[in-house]
Structure 1
Amino acid sequence: MIKIKVGLRPIVNRINLPTVLITTILPGDSIERLFIATQVGEIFYIGNGHIRTFLDIRPRILKLGVSGGGYDERGLLGLAFHPQFYFNGLFYLHYSVAGTQGPGALPNSETARQGLPEFFKPNPCDPKTLNLKWINRETQYDHIDTVEEWILQSNGQPQKRRTLLNLRRPFFNHNGVNSLNFSPETGKLVLTTGDGGSGYDPFNLSQDDLEIAGKIIEIDVGKNTYINNPPIVTRFNELPAPIQETLTVIAKGVRNIPGISFQRFYNQYIKYVGNVGQDLVESIFSFAQYKPIPVTQLIQASFMNSELNKEGFINFGWRGWEGAFPTPIIRGCTENPTLDEKTIAYYNEAVTLSGSRLQPLTSYFHQDTRPDKFAGTALTGVQAYLGNRISGLTGSVVFTDFARKESGPQVRGALAYTRVRPDGKQNDFSVIQTDYDFGNQSAYYASLGTNLNQTRLYLGVYGSMNVTDLNQGRVFEIVP
């Protein structure tokens, strides 16, 4: 793959951590505006060279960074504008709700006593750790996420209209980010949500058909619109029937996911998604044909104890597979620190899913000493690029990693690209070089966005990995 170098053109400085970068045209306007959502709950847009506040829901957001030294994966996670936003003013939010902090799903376990339950590691020699169940869900959870419909009123003030979903989450992490988008194929709202957190998906929520965690879900926002204030749930069968009827599931086996991107290719769309890795590898997947399953069918099949025909249904393989590899447990070797011991923990699942899971389009590793690659930390964005201003990048899929492992005292994120091969097999990737000098400040690459026709790319950067370190964010346009 050819080597590409780009510039970074600053758009905004000194904002909070940017989680969503998208564009839309405001009702009555004629110019496409860049909208920026921050993790703490602000939504800005760029108008005539100035940053303007569109909406501030900070009082609605759960208090972030209280545990974990300021690091957090909750907050304002998703923003999407209805395809008819210019005419109907509708837009959608996904965020972690203020006042819903719970004790977590593994409060009394040995793991919790040793440290935060978010860093749970199964023990291949102890079957109990491989088959944990999430019990007492109404009391043992971390927080509640909500998906809401809002409207921009004729007076220019946004107002909440209704709640689509209230989701009880077991841990603070793996809630998805940049988690809302509208499918140009179906016109439905797509919600991408992670496996609920901790490490190694301790309750295997991502493979359970009835669990909402670890799925890509379509919501028909034009159906049964009279519904409001739905119950707080963790499973599809806990939802009232009128809400079940609005939902279909595109995919399962998701660990954590920084959104979905659609690329038009003749009369169909290629879908790109990334699955954040555990200890080994970060993976980008692509698919065009798929067979979504209505939630009502999933529930009926479970009730009847019958097997659904899942041909064409997308499964990314987690927790049995991490990208193209059976999920390993990695332990440091005390006698020789340069070596690692790897143990396959979910051997049975890895075998069961080996023929039915989707293979990644490309992967990159947490350890990689090759001169033209990088050692990554966590995938933070995946976007198709259809512009022609950046030579050599047209028709590719661009992705970002939060922080290179080898970047030195000042952390630097990574920007890279790959392409879909005509034969559908896995492809290599290439690092995109940038010419911007961040000086002595760290630059974590937190988010990646695009405009409506995918001819421009935007990069969200933060000077710290902690959401409690305020106003260290910048947004750039990626330029030739």
Structure 2
Amino acid sequence: MIKVKVRLRPIVSKLNMPTVLKTAYLPGDSIESLFISTQVGEIFYIRNGEIRTFLDIRPRILQLGVSSGGYDERGLIGLAFHPGFYYNGLFYLYYSIAGAQGPGAIPNASSEPFKPNPCDPGTLNRKWINRDKEYDHIDTLEEWILQPNGQPQKRRTLLQIRRPFLNHNGVNSLNFSPETGKLVLTTGDGGSGYDPFNLSQDDMEIAGKIIEIDVTKNTFIDQPPVVTRFDELPVPIQETLTVIAKGVRNISGISFQRFYHRYIKYVGIVGQDLVESIFSFIHYRPIPVTQLIQASLKKSELDQEGFVNFGWRGWEGDFPTSFITSCSANPALDQKTIAYYDDAVKTSARRLPPLISYFHEEPRTDKFRATALTGVQPYMGNEIPGLTGNVVFTDLAVRAKDSQLPVRGALAYTRPRMDCKLNDFSVMDVDYPFGSQSAYYVSLGANMNQTKLYLGVYGSMKVADYHEGSVFEIVP
């Protein structure tokens, strides 16, 4: 793969954490506007070089960073425009509701993160009980409309989901499928670490799934109940939902690349301790939620041929999920132990292998040590010839051993493969003078025809460190 060099062209700075970057045509407009949503609840758009406020829902958003030292994965994490937005003004938001803070699903646990212990079966078979009281927060999916007077207004609530922990809620969680015209919701496994309740493989759990929602169907339910499972939803809502995939850990959304009359789907999944992974698939067989529920009631095995399973929690990318036992005498001898052997066996045949995995510990000098995958986008433009037709991804922060240099994220790319077999990737050279400022690459976006790429950068990992965000266009 050739070495691609790019520059970052500044678009806007002094933002709060930019979580979603995408373009749309405003009703009556003749040019695309770049929309930027921030984690704290602001949505801006840029038109003719001028930044304007589209919507500000900060009072609706859970207060972020208070209980977590400034770091947070909740907030406004999804924005999608209806394919007919230019005509109907409909758009969709996914965010964490103000006032919905709970004690967590393991409220009496110590401050140490959860880790399975093969010698203690209790850690391998935990159950999430007392869900109405022991949870972290509630996320909501809402439909809004841009009124003729230019003011956005909420129309209805589609889902309200109770989440067990503050992390792994996904980001860039809403996108419309160009294949089906349906709204796609991507949900993480609920958080903590190692998916302690195995929600991602449970067909009844909303956590850890990719879900299609038929927004053309009116359920006539304006305020749906707060749920964690599909079978807790009213039947009219169940009938609007199909499940594309399960086995998700934490996810940076889904993107689509046109391939003749079909689309390649790309999914970036954040790893636990070993790897970050990008998955791709063309063919899939979604399963209606009503069928999943019927199979569960009958305790029957549902035919899941063609149903996408990313393998978590049994698999982390292309590896059985492991935890690392440190060797204090010699860190080079740290031992990796399979965390969930039974889960790895059960999902081994059905799981989808990744297109690429890249590593937290990386011995190759032309690669980088991973932290967290934060975005995946196909590039179909011609301005950066070495990238045309390839898939671009970004990592939060390159980790260098014993380095005192400021933090930098990483941009890289890989070629699509129709056989979905494991592929290599190449790191881009990025020309921009960040100076002594940290630069975490927190989001990656594209315009509607994927000929332009946008990068969201933050000067801190903490959402409570305000106004440290910038958005750039990636240019030759």
CA contact (8 A) 1:162 1:228 kept: yes
Question: How far did 1:338 drift?
Answer: 2.8
Q: Does 1:438 align with 2:434?
A: yes
Question: How far did 1:67 drift?
Answer: 1.8
Judging changes above 3 Å, is the alpha-carbon distance between structure 1 residues 205 and 422 closer, same or farther for their aligned structure 2 residues? closer
Corresponding letter in the other structure for 2:17:
L
Q: Does 1:166 align with 2:166?
A: no
Paired residue for 2:232, among 238, 257, 278? 238
Judging changes above 3 Å, is the alpha-carbon distance between structure 1 residues 408 and 373 closer, same or farther for their aligned structure 2 residues? farther
Structure 2: give runs of 5+ residues left out of the alignment. none
User: Could you say which residue in structure 1 is the equivalent of 2:467?
Assistant: 471
Paired residue for 1:311, among 305, 312, 316? 305
For residue 448 of structure 1, give the secondary structure of its aligned residue in structure 2.
Answer: strand
User: Could you say which residue in structure 1 is the equivalent of 2:355?
Assistant: 361
CA contact (8 A) 1:412 1:444 kept: yes
User: Could you say which residue in structure 1 is the equivalent of 2:333?
Assistant: 339
Spell out, residue by residue over 1:179-213, the C-alpha distance to the aligned partner (whole angstroms, 9 max, x if none). 00000000000000100000000000000000000
CA contact (8 A) 2:182 2:213 kept: yes
Distance in 2, matches of 1:198 and 1:280, equals 16
Question: How far did 1:227 drift?
Answer: 2.3
Query: Which has the higher mean CA deviation after the structures are superposed, 165-174 or 364-373?
Result: 364-373
Distance in 1, matches of 2:242 and 2:404, equals 45
Spell out, residue by residue over 1:85-108, the C-alpha distance to the aligned partner (whole angstroms, 9 max, x if none). 000000000000000000000012
CA contact (8 A) 2:280 2:420 kept: no
User: Could you say which residue in structure 2 is the equivalent of 1:400?
Assistant: 394
Paired residue for 2:126, among 132, 137, 141? 132
Matches within 5 A, 1:413-424: 413-424=409-420
Size of the alignment, in residue pairs?
A: 474
For residue 70 of structure 1, give the secondary structure of its aligned residue in structure 2.
Answer: coil
Query: Which has the higher mean CA deviation after the structures are superposed, 224-233 or 360-369?
Result: 224-233
Question: How far did 1:341 drift?
Answer: 1.2
Spell out, residue by residue over 1:249-295, the C-alpha distance to the aligned partner (whole angstroms, 9 max, x if none). 00000001001000000010000001100000000000000000000
User: Could you say which residue in structure 1 is the equivalent of 2:275?
Assistant: 281
Paired residue for 2:284, among 290, 294, 319? 290
Spell out, residue by residue over 1:113-155, the C-alpha distance to the aligned partner (whole angstroms, 9 max, x if none). 2x15xx2111111110010000000000000000000000000
Judging changes above 3 Å, is the alpha-carbon distance between structure 1 residues 326 and 239 closer, same or farther for their aligned structure 2 residues? same
User: Could you say which residue in structure 1 is the equivalent of 2:376?
Assistant: 382
User: Could you say which residue in structure 2 is the equivalent of 1:97?
Assistant: 97
Distance in 2, matches of 1:376 and 1:289, equals 29
Matches within 5 A, 1:257-268: 257-268=251-262
Distance in 2, matches of 1:341 and 1:442, equals 32
Distance in 2, matches of 1:410 and 1:26, equals 39
User: Could you say which residue in structure 2 is the equivalent of 1:270?
Assistant: 264
Paired residue for 1:457, among 442, 453, 470? 453
Question: How far did 1:335 drift?
Answer: 1.9
User: Could you say which residue in structure 2 is the equivalent of 1:38?
Assistant: 38
Spell out, residue by residue over 1:332-353, the C-alpha distance to the aligned partner (whole angstroms, 9 max, x if none). 1112123211110111111111
CA contact (8 A) 1:124 1:343 kept: no
Distance in 2, matches of 1:432 and 1:218, equals 34
User: Could you say which residue in structure 1 is the equivalent of 2:211?
Assistant: 217
For residue 136 of structure 1, give the secondary structure of its aligned residue in structure 2.
Answer: coil
For residue 357 of structure 1, give the secondary structure of its aligned residue in structure 2.
Answer: coil
CA contact (8 A) 2:353 2:420 kept: no
For residue 218 of structure 2, give the secondary structure of its aligned residue in structure 1.
Answer: coil
Question: How far did 1:225 drift?
Answer: 4.5
Judging changes above 3 Å, is the alpha-carbon distance between structure 1 residues 379 and 125 closer, same or farther for their aligned structure 2 residues? same
Spell out, residue by residue over 1:386-413, the C-alpha distance to the aligned partner (whole angstroms, 9 max, x if none). 1111011111111010111116431000
Spell out, residue by residue over 1:327-371, the C-alpha distance to the aligned partner (whole angstroms, 9 max, x if none). 001121112123211110111111111111000000101111311
Spell out, residue by residue over 1:4-36, the C-alpha distance to the aligned partner (whole angstroms, 9 max, x if none). 110100000110000000000000111100000
Q: Does 1:182 align with 2:176?
A: yes
Q: Which runs of 4+ in 1 moved over 6 A?
A: none
For residue 87 of structure 1, give the secondary structure of its aligned residue in structure 2.
Answer: helix
Judging changes above 3 Å, is the alpha-carbon distance between structure 1 residues 408 and 383 closer, same or farther for their aligned structure 2 residues? farther
Distance in 1, matches of 2:18 and 2:420, equals 33
User: Could you say which residue in structure 1 is the equivalent of 2:220?
Assistant: 226
Corresponding letter in the other structure for 1:38:
T
User: Could you say which residue in structure 1 is the equivalent of 2:10?
Assistant: 10
For residue 381 of structure 2, give the secondary structure of its aligned residue in structure 1.
Answer: coil
Give the TM-score normalised by structure 2. Answer: 0.99
User: Could you say which residue in structure 2 is the equivalent of 1:28?
Assistant: 28
CA contact (8 A) 2:441 2:457 kept: yes
CA contact (8 A) 2:219 2:237 kept: no
CA contact (8 A) 2:173 2:187 kept: yes
Cα-Cα RMSD: 0.9
Corresponding letter in the other structure for 2:323:
I
Corresponding letter in the other structure for 1:165:
L
CA contact (8 A) 1:27 1:87 kept: yes
